[in-house]
């Protein structure tokens, strides 16, 4: 955090790009005047749908930013609000909609008997599964008291190295393995029949759907020992009594069938009865959000996709996970009614993060207005018409309300305690700077455009379905004058623990909240669904796939998977020497035996090619990988015209990914893991484009 705050390239004034390509500083008030006028002109000419917004992960530390950005989009009546969620793990919300929620909440990791992680490395990502507040210490304590950790990952990650069982399969076979585990658990009658009888439907359909995923079939397809698969199913289902869960991460979700993967994770948890029961402590009670009553009963499935705004490409619609971000570049490029003409980015860097970088580049260059809220001239900001310089985390107040909301995103997330913290502004903005808080930028636009904004608090959104208190709705217009501190007070007006009391604990506090899971309502007839027809049909398609033929292309013998970096949050900070420690690039990691077989040496410059595109990279040997797997960190690299500088800024992995070939028909998420690639020497005279390319690439 200090390094990013003190970044010598940090923007202290907003920027404007002129018609001749020059960039100058601009007063933030003047920038809002000009942007508001331009947006009004575009809306009058093309309609509200011509304006889109993208929220990246670096907008999340600011509780009001996303909400005010969304309120602005509702104020102009545009449905085109996109987030990073649908290019990461949208299957989590899709699966929950199809399966239903357990209102008693998650099992507490600190008391679990077993836990399974699929394609995630929380010791580095601090994300799903192991509580993110010092995950290494939490995992060590859990193992010392007897918890058994199971990890499924093609790489022996830092987390996998501590597992009781590490399955190291071919990439892309996570669905196969989970289906095989379900097959074994059902055949051995290790499931919790009493829990299923009272709380679930579809069990017989699930049993039939996994019948073909025999241990021998799964072992051959995933290239894992059959006995290890059996041991994994036995350990998860029978070790201990009822405590333990399964979580999947970005790596597994990137490899296609992410929605199905997340659904099978929920099914595995449910058939083993691994949810909190009546009388047990609520794992994540609210603190700065309103109190809720946890009950040992289901919330039934609900509509997850196929409603709301329909995009003009690939038959995609709005979903519970949000609008399909991988289709936004197409919506910008596709001419005709509804074409996106303006894009506003909050805390995001599409040129680094979105798949198919060449298409993204063409799309952003074609916009009539591109506005970013950014702390530096990122790849995307270098293309922007206006770059608004915002305050950063230490210059704004902060609170933990968002950490409570995230439990509705998926199981295994959030702080497992009644924890609350409020932190005032720690430092003033740098002297002489002209910085604005992100939410105030959107309020400033609304005032200039004479809009009335309805600001709906967190629990009126994703968590609203499960809240007992009505959402707090704040009406804002041109007469609104509000500080962030005052806004937080209104957001916390119905909090379980008053904000003033939380303020009395400057380092945060675990409050004495006596919350236990209540018994099932006597008249409750709701059921979780472990036999969803859509997902069981997709599972049948997976079983019918000729998996051997899919691996027979000798031109692309390796499978590329993603991995996280200890020091970076996506593209943030990659250029800072104190964080990259002299390595500003993202290597292509490969097993030493594979490196030697290619006649290469660690440190060589190489070309990584998919059927879609080719990128240059630096090779690095890594014996934690399977020999048929290579891995790279995402969100590095420069513009498509800057490949010669890959040792200075790294490689854009997203360039290898088309958005319209292998993609999920519900979320639009393209294959971003388990990518068939070739690795070759960056030889003298070797042409960068001397590989097969797609038609889209050729046109680019």
Domains of the chain: 1-88+303-510 (3.40.50.740), 107-274 (3.40.228.10), 565-681 (2.40.40.20)
- Mapped onto helix, strand or coil, the DSSP state of residue 457 is coil
For residue 467, the model assigns a pLDDT of 64
For residue 694, the model assigns a pLDDT of 38
* % residues pLDDT > 90 (the chain): 78
Residues 352-392 pLDDT 10s: 999 999 999 999 999 999 999 999 999 999 999 999 999 99
Using N-to-C axis directions, what is the helix angle for 65-75 and 438-448, rounded to 10°?
A: 20
Q: Give the mean pLDDT of 35-48.
A: 98
In terms of DSSP H, where are the helices of 334-392? 350-353, 357-366
Q: Strands 528-529 and 605-609: what pairing? A: unpaired
Beta bridge partners of 475: 454
CA-based R_g, the chain, Å: 25
Rounded to whole angstroms, how far apart are CA atoms 139 and 667?
Answer: 33
676, pLDDT greater than 90: yes
Terminus-to-terminus CA distance in the chain, angstroms?
A: 38
Question: Closest Cα partner for 486 from 455, 509, 525?
Answer: 455
Place 447 in a pLDDT band, splitting at 50, 70 and 90. Answer: very high
Rounded to whole angstroms, how far apart are CA atoms 535 and 232?
Answer: 23
412, pLDDT greater than 50: yes
For residue 242, the model assigns a pLDDT of 62
Question: Closest Cα partner for 647 from 598, 580, 693, 597?
Answer: 580
Question: Closest Cα partner for 106 from 248, 239, 246?
Answer: 246
Rounded to whole angstroms, how far apart are CA atoms 123 and 566?
Answer: 9
Rounded to whole angstroms, how far apart are CA atoms 283 and 291?
Answer: 13
Place 240 in a pLDDT band, splitting at 50, 70 and 90. Answer: low
Rounded to whole angstroms, how far apart are CA atoms 109 and 247?
Answer: 12
For residue 585, the model assigns a pLDDT of 92
State the pTM of this model. 0.94
Place 670 in a pLDDT band, splitting at 50, 70 and 90. Answer: very high
- Mapped onto helix, strand or coil, the DSSP state of residue 618 is strand
Q: Give the mean pLDDT of 108-130.
A: 90
In what order do the strands lie in the sheet containing 165-167?
Answer: 165-167, 148-152, 114-118, 244-248
CA dihedral of residues 532, 538, 541, 545 (deg, nearest 10)? -130
Rounded to whole angstroms, how far apart are CA atoms 602 and 168?
Answer: 23
φ, ψ (nearest 5 deg) of residue 425: -60, 125
552, pLDDT greater than 80: no
Rounded to whole angstroms, how far apart are CA atoms 285 and 158?
Answer: 30
For residue 662, the model assigns a pLDDT of 93
Is there a contact between 496 and 513 (Cβ–Cβ < 8 Å)?
yes
* DSSP symbol at 417: S
461, pLDDT greater than 50: no
Q: Which residues, 6+ apart, have CB-to-CB distance to 524 below 8 Å? A: 297, 298
Q: Give the mean pLDDT of 339-356.
A: 96
564, pLDDT greater than 90: no
- Mapped onto helix, strand or coil, the DSSP state of residue 61 is coil
Least confident window among 219-233, 479-493, 520-534: 479-493
For residue 464, the model assigns a pLDDT of 54
Rounded to whole angstroms, how far apart are CA atoms 18 and 342?
Answer: 16
For residue 241, the model assigns a pLDDT of 63
For residue 474, the model assigns a pLDDT of 77
In terms of DSSP H, where are the helices of 319-407? 328-333, 350-353, 357-366, 401-405
* Residue 459: HSE in the Cβ half-sphere, 13 Å Cα cutoff: 23
- Mapped onto helix, strand or coil, the DSSP state of residue 115 is strand
Is there a contact between 131 and 117 (Cβ–Cβ < 8 Å)?
no
Is residue 582 left, alpha or beta, with left meaning phi > 0 and alpha meaning psi from -120 to 50? left
Is there a contact between 55 and 83 (Cβ–Cβ < 8 Å)?
yes
Question: Closest Cα partner for 568 from 472, 471, 649?
Answer: 649
Q: Which residues, 6+ apart, have CB-to-CB distance to 239 below 8 Å? A: 113, 114, 148
Averaged pLDDT of the chain = 91
């Amino acid at each position: 955090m200090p390094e990013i705050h003190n970044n010598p390239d940090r923007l202290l004034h907003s920027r404007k790009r002129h018609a001749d390509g020059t960039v100058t500083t601009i007063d933030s008030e003047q920038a809002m005047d000009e942007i508001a006028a331009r947006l009004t002109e575009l809306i009058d000419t093309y309609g509200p749908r011509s304006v889109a917004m993208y929220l990246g992960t670096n907008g999340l530390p600011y509780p009001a930013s996303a909400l005010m950005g969304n309120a602005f989009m509702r104020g102009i009546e545009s449905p085109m609000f996109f987030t990073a969620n649908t290019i990461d793990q949208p299957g989590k919300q899709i699966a929950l909609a199809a399966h239903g929620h357990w209102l008693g909440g998650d099992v507490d990791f600190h008391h679990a008997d077993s836990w399974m992680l699929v394609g995630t490395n929380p010791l580095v990502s601090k994300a799903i599964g192991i509580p993110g507040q010092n995950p290494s210490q939490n995992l060590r304590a859990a193992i010392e008291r007897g918890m058994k950790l199971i990890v499924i990952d093609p790489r022996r990650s830092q987390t996998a190295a501590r597992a009781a069982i590490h399955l190291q399969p071919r990439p892309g076979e996570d669905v196969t393995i989970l289906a095989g585990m379900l097959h074994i658990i059902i055949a051995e009658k290790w499931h919790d029949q009493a829990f299923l009888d009272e709380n679930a439907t579809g069990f017989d359909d699930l049993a039939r759907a996994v019948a073909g995923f025999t241990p021998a079939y799964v072992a051959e397809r995933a290239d894992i020992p059959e006995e290890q698969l059996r041991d994994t199913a036995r350990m998860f289902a029978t070790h201990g009594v009822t405590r333990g869960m399964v979580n999947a991460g970005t790596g597994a979700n990137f490899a296609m069938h992410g929605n199905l993967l997340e659904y099978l994770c929920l099914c595995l948890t449910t058939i083993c009865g691994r949810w909190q029961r009546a009388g047990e402590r609520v794992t994540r009670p609210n603190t700065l959000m309103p109190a809720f009553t946890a009950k040992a009963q289901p919330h039934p499935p609900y509509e997850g996709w196929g409603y709301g705004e329909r995009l003009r490409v690939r038959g995609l619609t709005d979903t519970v996970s949000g609008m399909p971000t991988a289709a936004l570049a197409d919506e910008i490029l596709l001419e005709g009614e509804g074409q996106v003409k303006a894009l506003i980015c909050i805390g995001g860097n599409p040129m680094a993060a979105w798949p198919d970088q060449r298409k993204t580049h063409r799309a952003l260059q074609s916009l009539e207005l591109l506005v970013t809220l950014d702390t530096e001239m990122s790849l995307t900001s270098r293309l922007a018409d206006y770059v608004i310089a915002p305050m950063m985390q230490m210059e704004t107040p902060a609170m933990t309300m968002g950490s409570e909301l995230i439990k509705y995103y998926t199981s295994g997330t959030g702080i497992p305690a009644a924890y609350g913290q409020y932190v005032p502004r720690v430092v003033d903005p740098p002297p002489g700077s002209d910085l604005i808080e992100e939410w105030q930028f959107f309020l400033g636009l609304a005032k200039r455009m004479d809009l009335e904004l309805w600001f709906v608090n967190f629990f009126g959104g994703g968590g609203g379905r499960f809240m007992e208190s009505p959402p707090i709705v704040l009406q804002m217009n041109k007469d609104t004058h509000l500080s962030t501190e005052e806004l937080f007070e209104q957001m916390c007006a119905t909090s379980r623990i008053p904000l003033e009391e939380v303020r009395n604990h400057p380092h945060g506090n675990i409050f004495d909240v006596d919350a236990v899971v209540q018994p099932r309502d006597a008249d409750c007839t709701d059921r979780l669904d472990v036999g969803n027809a859509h997902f069981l049909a997709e599972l049948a398609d997976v079983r019918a796939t000729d998996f051997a033929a899919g691996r027979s292309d000798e031109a692309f013998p390796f499978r590329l998977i993603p991995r996280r970096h200890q020091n970076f949050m996506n593209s943030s900070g990659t250029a800072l020497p104190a964080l990259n420690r002299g390595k500003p690039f993202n290597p292509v990691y490969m097993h030493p035996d594979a490196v030697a077989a290619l006649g290469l040496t660690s440190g060589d410059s190489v070309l990584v090619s998919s059927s879609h595109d080719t990128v240059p990279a630096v090779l690095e040997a890594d014996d934690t990988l399977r020999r048929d797997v290579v891995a790279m960190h995402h969100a590095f690299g420069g513009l498509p015209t800057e490949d010669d500088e890959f040792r200075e800024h790294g490689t854009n992995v997203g360039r290898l990914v088309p958005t319209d070939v292998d993609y999920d028909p519900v979320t639009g998420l393209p294959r971003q893991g388990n990518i068939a690639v070739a690795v070759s020497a960056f030889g003298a005279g070797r042409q960068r484009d001397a590989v097969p390319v797609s038609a889209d690439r050729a046109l680019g």
